[in-house]
Amino acid sequence: MKLKTWQVGEPVLRQRARPLTTDEILSSRIQELIESMRETMHDAPGVGLAAPQVGLSIQFVIIEDQLDLIQKLPPQQVAERERRPVPFHVVINPKLVMEGPETVEFFEGCLSLPGFTSIVPRARCVRVECLNERAEPCVIQAEGWYARILQHEIDHLNGILYLDRMKSRSFSTQDNHARHWKNKSIAEVWNELGE
């Protein structure tokens, strides 16, 4: 069942979500939520969805970066973003650690703020300790676009939107992004914006 995606301005998007217990994770309610959120994310289409985005203030995220989404991008952008397919998985009660000082900047969007995008600096490499949908401990090491997805979605669990981290001079509608910036490197964008 497709769920309503809550939009910027809803208080749930600005609250720190609570952790889930083992019993909650293994409940039929959460197992059904996984499938409903997956359908909602695919329908958008998106690469991640956090529970607060469907009105639930719990530390629960789903992620999947499908090959067909990546293949729509020019090869140069795929390489620049270090974007590779990421299989569907669930991240519960995550603890995020930035690995190293290197940051990268790319445009990001959000299903809770449709129609807009902005350049957001993020750590290039991260480590996440979490639980999976079976309440088993997991450690995720990620770099490139996958690391960005994790940071974006885990931010949702802490009441943070990309708006809080964006480079405001780059804020744009999706239409204007497609017209002016879509096929340009971040360096070219900053050159034109005078940054």
CATH number at residue 39: 3.90.45.10
Catalytic residue among 39, 153, 188, 195: 153
How confident is the model over 136-157, as a mean pLDDT?
A: 98
In the chain, how many domains are there?
1
To the question of pTM greater than 0.85 for the whole model, the response is: yes
CA distance 71 to 67: 6
Q: Is residue 193 part of a domain?
A: no
> Could you tell me the CA-to-CA distances from 95 to 53, 67, 81, 118, 154 in Å, in that order?
19, 27, 24, 25, 9
Say what the pLDDT of residue 140 is: 98
The strand pair at 103-108 and 116-123 is best described as: antiparallel
- On the question of pLDDT at 195 being above 80, the answer is no
Whether residue 153 lies in the annotated active site: yes
Q: Is residue 27 part of a domain?
A: yes
Q: Is residue 114 part of a domain?
A: no
Q: Is residue 84 part of a domain?
A: yes
Give the DSSP letter of residue 171. Answer: -
Say what the pLDDT of residue 34 is: 97
pLDDT band at 63 (very low <50, low <70, confident <90, very high): very high
Residue bearing tokens 């480079």? 167
CA distance 186 to 195: 11
Domain that holds residue 21: 11-99+120-165
Q: Is residue 128 part of a domain?
A: yes
Q: Is residue 39 part of a domain?
A: yes
CB of 157 closer than 8 Å to CB of 20: no
Q: Is residue 136 part of a domain?
A: yes
> Which helix (H) or strand (E) segment is 153 a member of?
helix 144-157
